[in-house]
Amino acid sequence: MIELKGVKKSFGKHEVLKDVSIKVEEGEVVVILGASGSGKTTFLRCINFLEKADEGTMQFGDKTIDFKTAKKNEILHVRRHSAFVFQNYGLFANKTALQNVMEGLTQVQKKSKAEAEKIAKETLDWVGLSDRYDYYPSQLSGGQQQRVGIARAIALKPEVILFDEPTSALDPELVGEVLDLIKKVAQMGITMLVVTHEMSFAQDVADKVIFMDAGVVVEEGKPDEIFVNPKEERTRQFLSRIISLEPMYNI
Amino acid sequence: MGSYFDFERFLFVFPKVISCIGVNLQIVAVSMFFGTILAVFVALARLKPIPVLREIISVYISFMRGTPLLVQMMIAYYGIPLLLSDVFLNVFGINLNRLDSVIFVEIAIVLNEGAFLGEIFRGAISAIPAVQKEAAYSIGMTGAQSFFRIVLPQSFKLIIPAYGIDLVGVFQNTSLVFTLGIVDLLGKAKTLGAATGHTLEGYISATIIYIALSLILKGFFLTVERKVYSYGV
Amino acid sequence: MVFKISAFLESFLSAIKYAHVTIELTAISFVISLFLGLIIATIRHFKVKVLSQIFAAFITIYMGLPMMVAIVLYNLIFMTCYPDIALKLHINIPISEINPIFIGYFALIMGYTCILSESIRGAYRGVANVQFEAGYSIGMTKLQTLRRIILPQMVPILLPGMQNSLIGLLKASNLVSAISIIEIMNGALLPSVRYYSYLEGYVAAALVYWIIGATIEILAHYLEGRVGNYNKKSEYKTGRTEESIDRIKRSEEKLWQA
């Protein structure tokens, strides 16, 4: 489905991604873990060309794209067959929940307004926001905003959804509702690539876990392998640190 | 001030002064219309990293912001005919020296507004969080779609308050045009003074008109602002 | 008609010669307006009864008066009233010997006191309320808290706007040319009258203004780099947005930047 090879990215002198390669099969849920600054968010953004990678190639469906020479229509192709869920929701501030979901359907997929509205309403119902169609983002809670963000993504029927720390901007009590929804999306069989700090979520949902540190993939494998028997020392350190911190979240 | 200010004279002069307000309003309308168009291009040119153009625009903005409008008007008034009179006379058959001085004033204000409004527009556009553009891209929109459907409508909201204040400022700046012999509010007050020997009533009339209309315009923009801000964001 | 370099140079030198008039007008008016503006803003921020309402009403109305109208109006009032006042007070100086520059000072200070008081009021609101409470909590008086905690925090908030106000005042001081005070512009025009080289004169004046304005900008930039280090971090996070909004707000001062 998607395969990235040799992705490199620097911000000035700081090398954020040093030769990252991953492969995601169709229908697979892949979770990327790593400390902040490990490059995982940058990597996810590179896939959707929100950051321009310096080097590397991407096999997307049957298309192969070189990041260095990526053309406008190749970028649009990837964006139109994938969706992105932002850490800070990224809802269009000038549009209501319903308009946020409709926007891509009418403007990008050129669906009729009536059809777009029907799909958008169904999707919002599905994420549990049937009573919030006409609310502006500023009138919604963080959890509700993120659910609109997810509705906007799935309404477009993408081949893959990229989640960039979808719960890390949320108040602790709202994390659950969003994680439950993402699990529901995963059960639909959509290919997903999720950057997150939620360990138990990764353990429950992921088909594959990738651990990144300092701009490289340190280790990847089934969740059981990674969480129970990590091979690499760096993974072990990261996990022990997180697990020892975890109880603190319950205060 | 009893003996200097005569209320009957004031009642006689006031209608005469206010009858010239069209001159001021026309300058405001023309300058704002063309100034706004120019400003959009200035803002876009400042936001795009085009090497030489960028430098030229920043020198232009620096000049417009760093020199008094009165001096700019005078340079337009004396400079434009000098630069272009031959061209206009030979090509279009227009004698620039005979043109109404209002036109030169308007050109000066348009250029001035291009810089000031341009900076307001640029500020508002770059104040829209990057994630709005990214979200538009992520659902497959093109650059133009994301600018015109997502970023620009959101920046309008930020522009409205500053735009209103700017427009009131342009109206107040029309008080400079009498120095070029244009018979506007202040110009009329002055000519009436020269004719009757009593100027104070005319100036007081102009003062009242300027204050009243400034307050009305501000109130109008405040209402628009409230309307616009009553939803979302 | 052509652009005569020699006439331009003569005008430029003449403008430089009179630049001190403009600079004094600008600097003195600015300092006094800043002081008065601070007092008015403080009165309004703490909602002192009666006074704060009077100032609020006055400032709202006065901001509707263009600087040019104010200058010619004050000048006219002075010209008409002076002979009688002089007679009553037994002053024997003829009106032609009185330098009308004090009218310029009066108009500029009135206008900019209003503008600066509004900026300072904004800065008061920019300092979190908890800063006052923190001051009181360790036993400081209101005045102590103001002087030692609040005002220092207002400086970095105010600086960018102050730079614009100062340049605005520099440009507004040009309007005193309308009451025959010889400042940069009228100075630049002195040679022009002889040679009928007005364009050269105005371009020379523009250049001198531009140089002074650029100097202010450079100095302000240097100052901004030196103060307000304590909130650098938050600036890093939201800097772009705040800076842009700030820029929009600053355009408010356009009102007076004739």
Q: What is the CATH number of the domain that holds C85?
A: 1.10.3720.10
pLDDT at residue A8, as a whole number: 93
Cα(C169)–Cα(C162) distance, rounded to whole angstroms? Answer: 10
Taking a contact as any Cβ pair under 8 Å apart, which residues of chain B between 44 and 73 contact chain C?
A: 62-63, 65-72
Number of domains chain C is built from: 1
Q: Is residue C177 part of a domain?
A: yes
Which residue of chain C comes nearest to B79, CA vs CA? C199
Q: Measured between CB atoms, does C190 come within 8 Å of chain B?
A: no
Q: Is residue C159 part of a domain?
A: yes
Q: Is residue C1 part of a domain?
A: no
Q: Is residue C6 part of a domain?
A: no
Higher pLDDT, C225 or B182: B182
Structure tokens at C112: 């900019």
**Distance of residue B220 Cα from the nearest chain A Cα, in angstroms:** 23
The domain spans of chain B are: 1-20+183-233, 22-159
User: Is the Cβ–Cβ distance between B169 and C254 less than 8 Å?
Assistant: yes
pLDDT band at C238 (very low <50, low <70, confident <90, very high): very low
Cβ-based contacts under 8 A for chains B and C: 150
In this complex, whether B and A touch, counting 3 or more CB pairs under 8 angstroms, is yes
Structure tokens at C27: 């600097």
pLDDT band at C252 (very low <50, low <70, confident <90, very high): very low
pLDDT at residue C257, as a whole number: 41
Q: Measured between CB atoms, does B4 come within 8 Å of chain A?
A: no
Q: Is residue C3 part of a domain?
A: no
Reference A150, options A202, A81, A101, A200; nearest CA is A101
Higher pLDDT, B56 or C1: B56
Q: What range defines the domain where residue C142 resides?
A: 18-257
The predicted model scores a pTM of 0.78
Highest average pLDDT, of A111-115, C95-99, C220-224, comes from A111-115
pLDDT tens digit string along C122-153? 999 888 777 877 778 777 778 888 888 888 88
pLDDT at residue A246, as a whole number: 53
pLDDT at residue C247, as a whole number: 45
Whether the pLDDT of residue C185 is over 90: the answer is yes
Phi, psi of B59, deg, nearest 5: -65, -45
**Pairing, β A14-24 against β A160-164:** unpaired
DSSP calls for B101-113: HHHHHHHHHHHHH
pLDDT at residue C182, as a whole number: 94
Three-state secondary-structure class, residue B230: coil
Whether the pLDDT of residue C254 is over 50: the answer is no
So what's the ipTM on this one? 0.89
Three-state secondary-structure class, residue A100: helix
pLDDT at residue A61, as a whole number: 86
Query: Could you tell me where the beta strands, DSSP code E, fall in chain A?
Result: 2-11, 14-24, 29-33, 55-60, 63-66, 82-85, 160-164, 191-195, 208-213, 216-221
What is the overall mean pLDDT for chain A?
A: 89
Q: Is residue C12 part of a domain?
A: no
Reference C107, options C150, C157, C169; nearest CA is C169
Contact assignment for B138 to A48 by CB distance below 8 Å:
yes
What is the overall mean pLDDT for chain C?
A: 84
Q: Is residue C234 part of a domain?
A: yes
Which chain A residues are within 8 Å of B135, Cβ to Cβ? 84, 86, 90-92
Which chain B residues are within 8 Å of C73, Cβ to Cβ? 203-204, 207
Contact assignment for B210 to C167 by CB distance below 8 Å:
no
Whether the pLDDT of residue C248 is over 60: the answer is no
pLDDT at residue C1, as a whole number: 59
Residue type for A34, please?
Answer: G
Which chain B residues are within 8 Å of C209, Cβ to Cβ? 66-68, 71
Which chain B residues are within 8 Å of C210, Cβ to Cβ? 62-63, 66-67
Task: Report chain B's terminal Cα–Cα distance, integer Å.
Answer: 53
Cα(B193)–Cα(A237) distance, rounded to whole angstroms? Answer: 89
Whether the pLDDT of residue C15 is over 60: the answer is yes
Length of chain C: 258
Mean pLDDT on A7-35: 91
Q: Is residue C2 part of a domain?
A: no
Of the given ranges (A16-20, A185-189, B88-92, C8-12), which has the lowest mean pLDDT? B88-92
What is the overall mean pLDDT for chain B?
A: 89
Cα(C138)–Cα(B173) distance, rounded to whole angstroms? Answer: 50
Which residue of chain B comes nearest to C252, CA vs CA? B165
Q: Facing residues of A208 across strands?
A: A30
pLDDT band at C236 (very low <50, low <70, confident <90, very high): very low
pLDDT tens digit string along B142-199? 888 998 899 988 998 889 989 999 999 999 999 999 999 999 999 999 999 888 888 8
To which CATH superfamily is domain B22-159 assigned? MetI-like (1.10.3720.10)
pLDDT at residue B21, as a whole number: 95
Whether the pLDDT of residue C246 is over 90: the answer is no
Whether the pLDDT of residue A233 is over 80: the answer is yes
How distant, in Å, are the alpha carbons of A141, A176, B84, B94 from that of B89?
67, 77, 9, 5
pLDDT at residue B44, as a whole number: 87
Contact assignment for C245 to B127 by CB distance below 8 Å:
yes
Taking a contact as any Cβ pair under 8 Å apart, which residues of chain B between 84 and 103 contact chain C?
A: none
Mean pLDDT on A44-56: 91
Cα(A169)–Cα(A149) distance, rounded to whole angstroms? Answer: 13
User: Is the Cβ–Cβ distance between B68 and C258 less than 8 Å?
Assistant: yes
pLDDT at residue C114, as a whole number: 96
DSSP code of residue C147: I
**Distance of residue A67 Cα from the nearest chain B Cα, in angstroms:** 17
pLDDT at residue A245, as a whole number: 55
Residue type for A109, please?
Answer: Q
Contact assignment for B140 to A84 by CB distance below 8 Å:
no
User: Is the Cβ–Cβ distance between A106 and A115 less than 8 Å?
Assistant: no
Instruction: List all residues 6 or more positions away from B103 whose beta carbon is below 8 Å from its beta carbon.
Output: none
Chains interfacing with C (3 or more CB pairs < 8 Å): B
Residue type for A235, please?
Answer: T
Residue in the structure block whose two tokens are 């006065």: C62
Contact assignment for B139 to A49 by CB distance below 8 Å:
no
pLDDT band at B121 (very low <50, low <70, confident <90, very high): very high
